[in-house]
Homo-oligomer: A and B are copies of this chain.
Amino acid sequence: MGKSRLEAFSDGVIAIIITIMVLELKIPHGEGVDVLIPLVPVFFSYVLSFIYLGIYWNNHHHMLHTLRTVTGPMLWANLHLLFWLSLIPFATGWMGENHFAALPSALYGVVLFMAAVAYFILQRLIIASQGHDSILKKAVADDWKGKLSPLIYATAVVLAFWVEWFSLALYVLVAIIWLVPDRRIEKVLGSHGV
């Protein structure tokens, strides 16, 4: 399978996920400010998940950039990643509607954690296929963000049951960490003239 079709399919699924998520922002009955108030946490969780999906879309593209041929296991590892991403709208909506309560916040963290694991598996498969001088391997050698994120998610999942809102703060923190420009892969790619 060519890389372009895998990319196009992944882009399509991520574009749909990012867009149907807004359907959870149910149109309220009534025209006053009062009907908008309950939507504020739903809206905020939508913004957060929109950013996360943007980050995944961005990272996914950079990772595939170093790929030449797609194998069967890679294809399924990619579908596995898309599966967890597809659960983000559900986790987002549940967390937002319950004002970042313990269990919904923990579930949101579980979905993010599993997506990170799925991303890691796909990364390993691509690196393994590229052999010793894998470009991706060099690019992610000092990938502290990729290693730190799952740890923070796991912490957030556990803490959700102790301190309200704390896990939310951790999810926001991870999003900020990733939003800060990261030129790792571009740098390595650049020095290889890709």
Interface residues on A, range: 35 or more
Residues of B within 8 A of A102 (CB): 31
Residues of B within 8 A of A73 (CB): 181
Contact of A89 among B22, B86, B93, B104 (CB under 8 A): B22
Q: At the interface, is chain A mostly helix, strand, loop or mixed?
A: helix
- At the interface, yes or no: A141 with Cβ under 8 Å from chain B? no
Number of copies of this chain in the oligomer? 4
- At the interface, yes or no: A57 with Cβ under 8 Å from chain B? yes
Which residue of chain B has its CB nearest to the CB of A21?
B86
- At the interface, yes or no: A15 with Cβ under 8 Å from chain B? yes
- At the interface, yes or no: A193 with Cβ under 8 Å from chain B? no
| A15-B20 Cα distance, complex, nearest whole Å | 12
